[in-house]
Each structure stands twice: as structure tokens, then as C-alpha cells.
Structure 1
Amino acid sequence: MRHILIADDDKEIAQLIRIYLENEGFQTRHANDGHEALAMLKGFPADLIVLDIMMPGMDGMEVCRKVREHSAIPILMLSAKTQDMDKVLGLMTGADDYMSKPFNPLELSARVKSLLRRSFQYNTELKSEVSEHVLKLDAIEINKLNHEVTANGKPISLTSREFEILSLLASSPGRVFGAEEIFRLIWQESYFVSNNTVMVHISNLRDKLEKELGYKLIQTVWGVGYKIEK
């Protein structure tokens, strides 16, 4: 069940919105002003906010700004003002949609549903993208999209080659990669026997990882190559 927070000091309008949204299967809560709305958000798992601009104490613009400091929750802003500039300001503040009073409750319900669908689709795509580009192995997290590595939540500064080597080994835990294969895949050049480039990079990478983890993540299989255990 989706939860909607309605912030409006006009109790009749708020009640009208509640009736229509609850008839659509939503669970609602009502805040009479901006301060109450922010307080409710701490304990109410809202999926969307219907937010009036003109409220006593703290207006909807300020509430929107404060919400946007820490949340991307969809916000449908309401206002008795009809000027285009008010709409622009509302959207620039961080609102996702804007309706002028008086409004058709059926249209408001339709816009709420539309915002929730878009939010759900975006979050699903975002999670899919993140899971596709993030490797997690033990306490290590590798974000291939941002070229960032963390160990126990702490960022580790790696060179581009060190990052590529770690990503390669972590992509197939348990598999042994020979030095020649690593060089060919990462540097994309021909490997020669006396080349110790891979060994030096592995050594530096190990030192950085071990400093945060307290143990050696990358293991040497003597005479064969290197691997990261599952």
C-alpha cells in the first residue's frame, strides 16, 4: 500500500483529497503546516507528498527545500496562485508537479498515480543499473560506473590500472588469472617473459587493500597466477 502525506492548512481541502486518495486505495496522513509535515516524515513512510504552498509558519516552498536536502520523494505542489512564475519557482525548488486551486480531485488522483509510477520505474531502473555496475565481494565494493572502491565503507584510492586489475579478479572469484592474461586484458599489448609490470601492480594493490581489510584479498597461486577467493 502506498502512503501519501497531505500538507495543507485548509482542512476542508485536505479532507477532500484524503477521501479521493483513500478511495483509490492509498493510506493518507494530514499535516496542518510545514513544521508538522516535516515532523511526520520522520515516522510516516510517505511515498509522495501533496504539498500546499501557502501555509502558516513554514510555507510549502521551504518544506520542499528541506525535503530535497535528503530525499527524492515525489512532491505534488498545490497553490491558489495561478501565475506562471509561481509554478516555475515551485518546480525549481524541487517539486515534481504543480496544480492550481481550485482543482479537480479526479485529476489530482491521476497525477498522484502518474508520479508514483514514474518514481517506481526510476527507482527500479536505478537499482538495476547500480547492481549491474557494482561488484560486492566480502567487505569490498567496486563501483565500475564511478571507478570507486570501498573497503568496510571506507574509500580506497587506486590507480586506473589497479582498479582494472581488481575489477577483473573480482568479476570471477575463485578463478586464477595468469600474469600474461592479466597484462593482455588490461594493457591490451603483447606480454614478454621479463615483464614484471603485473607483479608490481598486484603488490601495490595488495598493500592498499590489506591496509583496510587486515588480510590479503588477492592470493598468489605459485607458478600459475592470481585470484580472489569466493
Structure 2
Amino acid sequence: MDATRSRRKHLPANTTSALVLVADDDPPVATVLCAHLEGHGLRTRIARDGPEALQLFRRFRPDLVLLDTDLPERDGLDVLRAIREHHPTPVIMLSAFAGDVHKLVALRLGADDFLVKPFNPFELVARVQAVFRRTHAQPAPTTAIRVGALDIDLQAHCAVAHDRTGRAQPLPLTLTEFRLLSLLASQPGRCFSRAQLIERCLPESDALDRVIDSHLSKLRQKLQNAGQPGLIKTIRGVGYRLTPDD
């Protein structure tokens, strides 16, 4: 058994696909934290300042937030206050200040834990796991995806696009087209290579790259017919991504 699989078995149940938003304006620190979290089976997103942290929180609805108190433009305590107005999402505060004042304020605002920098990344992962256990915040299996003007029901195997007037139009997708759209929409902005798309969406097939290109061409046409052109981008020499905000 490799090291990653060995670590994952120690995670609380159902957290291996949880999304953690890391809000920290220090790129090296954020990168190290994400590497450790992803090494334990978690997914991550990075925000560099307070407004971006709230934007990504509202867009992706993470299962847990790592939030630095000293963020640019809007500090972490203000971001925590805004999150707590509407959401019980677990939040672990990170701070370079060792005094009790920041910690007490953060906990009174609803933070679930507080860590003073510098800290051991393995301790952080342990704290994340402990917060998941305490708050029972393990995400339920995803049954629906909403990205921009797309609504995808994974159980019913159907997808709906909303045009600029708000009118909903079902997409007449084949099974492969539905799999491709669901995968791309599950991680907006991520570029998937053709090999990854074949492995994830046509695992029983010996399809070549040009077969994926053909499926995506038809999928794009159906999205365009439903009033959603340009959602799927070709990244030359790499693969494809879904970018609803472009």
C-alpha cells in the first residue's frame, strides 16, 4: 500500500473528497498547506485576500475554511463574521499573533479552532480532521452540480441549461456527453487532459483522442443550442476545461 493510501484510511469517514478553502496571502505557506491537505485526500482552493475568500466561499461552498486573520483588503475576522451571518461551515483561523486577544475574538465570532504561525503542517491536518469529527461536517455524496447556468442531476442523469432570459432548457445528452459535462463541471476552471477524460468517462473503451474531440464537439453544439456557447474551452496542447464565468 502506498503512503497516500495509507494516510487516507485514517481520515474521518466521507472526508476524502471534502473541499478546503485556504485563505492566506503568503503563497509559499498556502502551497505547503494545500500539498499536505491534498496528500490526505482533500481538495483545495486558494484565496489571496479577503474579498477573494468570500467570492470563492460563495461560489464553491467549501466543507471547511482555513482563514488567516491578517488578509489584505478585508481581514480574516471580518471574513469570518460575514461567513457566520449565513453559514455554519467549519472555520479554522490561522494567525501570526500569539496573544490571546485575536484568539478570543475569533472564537467568539464562531471559529472552530485557532492555530498560531508557525505551525507543523501535520498538526494542521490533524486539527482539520478533528474539526470534521466534531462538527459532523463530512459532505454527503454529491448528487447535483450547479455551475453558472448549468444544473446537473447526477442521480436522474439529466442536465439543464438556462439561457440569458432564465429559461431552462433540458440538454439531450448521450451517456458519454453527460459524463464529460459532469466531470468538467465538477471542477470548474480545471483543465482535463484527453487521457484523463477517456479514463474517467470512457473507462471501458479503447477510444483515441479524436473520439473525445468528437464527443466534446457535439456537447458544445448542444450547449450552444441551449443558449450557453463557449462554456467548454480548448487548451491547446493540454486538453479541455469548463469556465462558466468567461
1:122 CA displacement: 9.9
CA distance in 2 between counterparts of 1:121 and 1:19 reads 21
Query: SS in structure 1 opposite 2:123?
Result: helix
CA distance in 2 between counterparts of 1:42 and 1:54 reads 20
Query: SS in structure 2 opposite 1:42?
Result: helix
Q: CA RMSD in A?
A: 1.7
CA distance in 1 between counterparts of 2:127 and 2:53 reads 21
Q: Structure 1, residues 168-194: CA drift from partner, whole Å, max 9, x if none?
A: xxxxxxxxxxxxxxxxxxxxxxxxxxx
1:62 CA displacement: 0.1
The 4+ residue runs of structure 1 with deviation greater than 4 A are 121-124
- Structure possessing the higher radius of gyration over alpha carbons: 1
CA distance in 2 between counterparts of 1:46 and 1:55 reads 19
Q: Structure 1, residues 24-75: CA drift from partner, whole Å, max 9, x if none?
A: 0000000001100110112213000000000110000000000000000000
- Spell out the pairing of 1:38-187 with structure 2 (5 A cutoff): 38-120=54-136
1:7 CA displacement: 0.3
The answer as to 2:40 corresponding to 1:24 is yes
Question: In the comparison of the two structures, how many residue pairs are matched?
Answer: 124
The answer as to 2:31 corresponding to 1:11 is no
Q: Structure 1, residues 57-108: CA drift from partner, whole Å, max 9, x if none?
A: 0000000000000000000000000001211111112111000000010000
Gaps of 5+ in 1: 125-230
Gaps of 5+ in 2: 1-16, 141-246
**Code of the aligned partner of 1:3:** L
Query: SS in structure 1 opposite 2:115?
Result: strand
More helix by share: 1
Task: Quote the residue 2:168 is aligned against.
Answer: none
Query: SS in structure 1 opposite 2:20?
Result: strand
Q: TM-score, normalization: structure 2?
A: 0.49
